[in-house]
Copies of this chain bind each other. A is one copy, B any other.
Amino acid sequence: MQNRQIQIAELPTAELTPDHFKLVEADMPKAGDGEVLLKVILMSIDAANRSWMKGATYRAAVQAGDPMPTYAICEVVESNSPKISVGDIVAAEATWSDYIVAKGHRVEKLPKVETLSHLMSVYGIAGKTAYHGLMSIGNPVAGETVLVSAAAGSVGGYVGQIAKALGCRVVGIAGGPEKCKWVEDEMGFDACIDYREAGLSKALAAACPNGVDVYFDNVGGKILESSLNFMNEKGRVVCCGAISQYDTDNPTGPRNLPGVIVVKRLKMEGFIVMDFAHNDAKCVRAMQHWVGTGQIKVTEDIVEGLENAPQALIGLLAGDNKGKRLVRVAADPS
* Interface residue ranges, A against B (CB under 8 Å): 51, 54, 57-58, 220-221, 224-225, 239-242, 244-245, 251-272, 275
Contacts and interface: CB of A to CB of B under 8 A. Distances in A.
Contacts of A251: 255-256, 258-259
Contact of A261 (B58, B262, B268): B268
A242 B269 contact: no
A58 B257 contact: no
Contacts of A262: 239-242, 270-272
A229 to B, nearest CB: 12
B261 A239 contact: yes
B265 A272 contact: yes
A61 to B, nearest CB: 12
Chain A's interface: helix, strand, loop or mixed, by majority? loop
A152 to B, nearest CB: 20
Given A251-B255, A251-B256, A261 B270 contact: yes
A268 B265 contact: no
A245 B265 contact: no
Nearest to A261: B270
B271 A220 contact: no
A271 B234 CA distance: 9
A267 B268 contact: yes
A258 B240 contact: no
Contacts of A253: 225, 252-258
A252 B258 CA distance: 9
A258 B58 contact: no
Contact of A259 (B242, B254, B265): B242
Given A253-B253, A253-B256, 19 more contacts: A58-B263, A220-B257, A224-B258, A240-B262, A245-B258, A245-B259, A251-B256, A251-B258, A252-B253, A253-B255, A260-B270, A262-B271, A262-B272, A265-B270, A265-B272, A265-B275, A266-B268, A267-B268, A267-B269
A241 B259 CA distance: 8
B57 A258 contact: no
A241 B51 CA distance: 31
A232 to B, nearest CB: 13
A57 B240 CA distance: 28
Contacts of A257: 220, 253-254, 257
